[in-house]
Amino acid sequence: MMGKINKEIWLASGLRTPFVKENKQLKDVSAVDLSVAVVNKMAQKDQVRPNYLAWGTVVPNLTYSNIARDIVLESDLADETIAYSTTMACSSSILSTIQLASMLTDDETAISGGVESFSNVQLGLSNETSKWIKKLPKLNGVVDKIKWAGKIFKFKLYIPPGVNRVTGKSMGQHAEITAQRLSISRKAQDELALISHQNYFKAKNEGFYDDLIFPAFNVAEDLIPRKDTSLEKLSTLKPVFDREPGKGSITAGNSSLFTDGAAGVWVAGKNRINEFNTPYKAKLTDWEMAAVNIEEEGILMSPTFAITRLLERNNLTYNDIDIWEIHEAFAAQVLSTISNLESPTHLKKMGIKSNLGKFPMEKLNLKGSSISIGHPFGATGARIISQTLKQLHFAGDNKKALISVCADGGLGAIMLIGT
């Protein structure tokens, strides 16, 4: 069967800022400024003028409605660069890359990426308070203004609650529910988290990140990875989302943290890819998205549907993929995903008829992932793409990589790329 890419689209690695925990070293840098730094550095490095900029972000801000256009206007990119913003929670910059792949001609290029500044989450007014304040200019008489002022007790701030609007639960609470349903142990989660940190520092010590990250705003490197962590230390952390004794298993140590950072990646038609200086390039072969019933499947479990559909369509097994990158919102979510991928009952329910085999854990997230590196929602997809392109380059010819990013709302997006 044919995939969803009906033309030759290429990806080339971009750059990213260091990732740091919210309210730390980048707390005074806006999402726009983080993004401008990335696109300026990418344009300077490769000397390519993009036709489009597609930028993902999740945290809302009243100072912009189309952050991508503000980035263009405040950056060194030409004002003629078409720019749009996109949001699909943690999958935002995967989505922006897929969108651009569908739009570009053979002779066009684009920057796809995203940003998050959790340090600058903007507080607002409740809807009722906003309506109350907006009435003031329309009042004429003193009596009406006194009556208006008498309702000041209704003044309320709106603080983003950090939960799914429909379910009222956070992603962590949903991930905990899924982990308990699938019997994902605390020990397995902590082990996966430890491997994430170990893989990150192994890659860092080998210089893997040297040409993927640039110093920005007086920060030279990622500041979230913990070199001295251990299973013993991870095991001492208390569960966050279910504190009932003996039940909860998701902790701060086996979860990704709220993170500040921005990342970008290049998307190009076949006639433009040779203009890029980076050797880290590969074709975008296919993609898939999925949406699931949150209560039945789990809010972060849609990639199990997308992955299996894509592999079956391309006549591939799990082991045919040379590099697996599954975003780590939580170790529990990754392990739950793999559990479902290997479950005959789940595969049958999804209508998968192929024998996809056993999942190759030895190919998973070999350079570290979101638990160790951090997770600025809008930037994570672009960070993973650039990282994967570099891995593919060193893997050699005829290699395949699959990138999977789950998203709030029972959504997710995956990409198949290859040399």
- pLDDT of 349-396, one tens digit each? 999 999 999 999 999 999 999 999 999 999 999 999 999 999 999 999
Helix (H) or strand (E) holding 199: helix 186-205
Residues acting as catalytic residues: 90, 375, 406
Predicted confidence (pLDDT) at residue 218 exceeds the cutoff of 80: yes
Predicted confidence (pLDDT) at residue 1 exceeds the cutoff of 60: no
d(C-alpha 34, C-alpha 55), whole Å: 12
pLDDT of residue 146: 87
Does 143 or 339 have the greater pLDDT score?
339
Write phi, then psi, for 119 (nearest 5 degrees).
-70, -20
Percent of the residues in the chain that have a pLDDT greater than 70, as a whole number: 100
Predicted confidence (pLDDT) at residue 90 exceeds the cutoff of 50: yes
Percent of the residues in the chain that have a pLDDT greater than 90, as a whole number: 88
- pLDDT of 293-351, one tens digit each? 999 999 999 999 999 999 999 999 999 999 999 999 999 999 999 999 999 999 999 99
d(C-alpha 261, C-alpha 246), whole Å: 36
Predicted confidence (pLDDT) at residue 414 exceeds the cutoff of 50: yes
3-class state of residue 263 by DSSP: strand
- Other beta carbons within 10 Å of 229: 17
Cβ-proximal residues to 297 (8 Å cutoff; 6+ apart), any chain: 304, 410
Predicted confidence (pLDDT) at residue 175 exceeds the cutoff of 70: yes
Domains of the chain: 171-210+286-414 (3.40.47.10)
Task: Using pLDDT thresholds of 50, 70 and 90, give the confidence band for residue 2.
Answer: low
pLDDT of residue 383: 98
Residue type, 401: A
SS (H, E, C) 339-393: HHHCCHHHHHHCCCCCCCCCCCHHHECCCCCHHHHCECHHHHHHHHHHHHHHHHH
Compute CA distances 127 → 60, 124, 133, 157, 167, whole Å: 16, 9, 10, 9, 21
Predicted confidence (pLDDT) at residue 66 exceeds the cutoff of 60: yes
3-class state of residue 168 by DSSP: coil
pTM of whole model > 0.85?
yes
Write phi, then psi, for 44 (nearest 5 degrees).
-70, -40
d(C-alpha 222, C-alpha 208), whole Å: 13
pLDDT of residue 255: 98
Helix, strand, coil distribution of the chain in percent, nearest 5: 40, 20, 40
